[in-house]
Amino acid sequence: MEKILKLFRENMIIIFCVFILIGLGAWTHSKNTQPKSVAIKSESIQKKSESPKKEQNKLLMVDIQGAVKSPGVYQFKDGAIVQEVIKVAGGLTENADVKQINQAQKVTDQMQIIVPQIDESSGNISASTKATDKKVNINTAKVEDFQSVTGIGPKKAQKIIEFREQNGTFKELKDLTKVSGIGDKTLESLKDQLTV
């Protein structure tokens, strides 16, 4: 036992150095492996944050009526145009008046597209679709009156009427942008169909 203690005392510095080296080695090893796990975590966080963006593609509800084979309400991705809506609705009927619609126009949410018909006997646009050429007065129109306006569905029409009842008549078309859901772009597409 005394020999062991003597040996221990004589070699205490060496034993102490060995322990320090072992501790330094373990510390260096743990330090080198740590950034990898952090990198993996940050990469997985980045992948998670990218995936919701892809899922958040805006969908638009569009109502198409008139001279199409399958009128109804259809769902489209943001950026769709009137021509795509017509295709999904089965295409135009034989008596559709394509000169009266802009097929390159981008669609908006809750937009209503009415494809006019040509009266086969006279070659003129029928009386029912002639009404769509008249401008709708936003200060006097009822919900039904807005049906002839491409881009205003029943919900937007109701919002316009409620705004008018609460705030008084519109002084100019630009005032429509104060109504929730109608921005400058929407107003631009509506201005030829509306009046004050």
Q: What pLDDT, in 10s, does the model give residues 3-50?
A: 666 766 677 777 776 777 777 776 666 666 555 544 445 455 555 555
> What confidence tier does 125 reach under pLDDT thresholds 50, 70, 90?
very low
Percent of the chain clearing pLDDT 90 (strictly above): 21
What is the rounded distance in angstroms from the CA atom of residue 166 to the CA atom of residue 180?
Answer: 13
Residue 54 binned pLDDT confidence (cut-offs 50, 70, 90): very low
**Entry pTM:** 0.37
d(CA 35, CA 39): 6
What integer is the mean pLDDT of 55-69?
84
- Could you give the CA distance from residue 130 to residue 148 in angstroms, rounded to a whole number? 10
pLDDT the model gives residue 48: 54
Confirm if 114 and 65 have CB atoms less than 8 A apart: yes
Residues present in the chain in total = 196
Rounded Cα gap, residues 114 and 126, in angstroms: 13
Q: Are 95 and 67 in contact (CB under 8 A)?
A: yes
